């Protein structure tokens, strides 16, 4: 048990926290899924919020929300992931480059699979701000933002020593995830439960990937130390 709670080592605190976060995230996703499929109270709240925003959208907020959603479409995410990946490659951060690769693309494939499983229709309005024909649950934009900014936040939190930079980056990444999620609800592209489910499912996948690669890195470092006679 002591080895599980120590910061270092192959199976240290990072693995324990990773498992706990994954369990909580999966539990939240499961709870939301149950309420949506059973048409429980959350679906009533979904409709109330969706119709309120559709009736009360105003400029310049609408244009700003359209911009946030546009930046985090497929094309925008390719640019963001590509730029971050190039930065990691130039700095020879091979484990973080691997983390970025196995987190974002497979995570988005998982999102598409979940959409096909649940096949929830988009919110319907007589005068919609955006018109989409794909399924709604869970939100793809929110999933992409959670995965990308999640990896970015994890990297900065570990790579940077200054707490001011760490906290500022964590706050920025959380703000961006929130803005993307909020923009999808504001624009009527998704229900509230869609974006919450996307955050939960993507957080679970992000945690699995980061924890697995962190364990892989620690095992590799331990083998290198053992080979050099340090351990």
Shortest CA distance to 201 belongs to which of 115, 121, 95, 120?
A: 115
Sole residue written with tokens 């024909």: 133
Q: How far apart are CA 75 and CA 140, in angstroms?
A: 13
Lookup: tokens for 16: 């324990």
Residues 6 or more apart whose Cβ sits within 8 Å of residue 100: 81, 84, 85, 88, 151
The CA distance from 84 to 157, in Å, is 15
**Phi, psi at 136, each rounded to 5°:** -100, -30
| Cβ–Cβ under 8 Å, residues 16 and 23 | no
Cα(225)–Cα(223) distance, integer angstroms: 5
- Determine which helix (DSSP H) or strand (DSSP E) holds 74, and give its type and residue range: helix 74-90
Active site amino acids: 141, 190
Taking CA atoms, 88 is separated from 85, 92, 98, 149, 203, in Å, by 5, 6, 10, 15, 22
Q: How many CB atoms lie within 10 A of CB 58?
A: 6
């Amino acid at each position: 048990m002591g080895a599980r709670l120590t910061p270092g080592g192959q199976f240290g605190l990072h693995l324990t926290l990773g498992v706990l976060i994954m369990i909580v995230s999966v539990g939240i996703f499961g709870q939301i899924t149950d309420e949506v499929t059973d048409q429980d109270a959350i679906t009533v709240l979904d409709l109330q919020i969706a119709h309120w925003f559709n009736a009360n959208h105003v400029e310049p907020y609408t244009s700003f929300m359209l911009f946030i959603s546009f930046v985090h479409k497929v094309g925008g995410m390719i640019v963001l992931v590509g730029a971050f990946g190039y930065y990691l490659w130039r700095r020879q951060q091979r484990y973080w480059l691997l983390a970025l690769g196995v987190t974002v693309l497979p995570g988005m494939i998982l999102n598409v699979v979940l959409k096909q499983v649940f096949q929830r229709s988009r919110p319907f309005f007589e005068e919609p701000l955006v018109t989409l024909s794909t399924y709604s649950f869970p939100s793809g934009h929110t999933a992409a933002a959670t995965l990308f900014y999640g990896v970015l936040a994890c990297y900065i939190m570990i790579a940077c020593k200054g707490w001011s930079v760490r906290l500022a980056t964590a706050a920025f990444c959380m703000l961006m995830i929130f803005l993307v999620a909020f923009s999808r609800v504001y624009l009527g592209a998704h229900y509230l439960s869609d974006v919450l489910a996307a955050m939960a499912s993507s957080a679970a996948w992000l945690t699995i990937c980061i924890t697995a690669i962190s364990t892989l890195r620690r095992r590799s470092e331990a083998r290198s130390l053992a080979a050099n006679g340090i351990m």
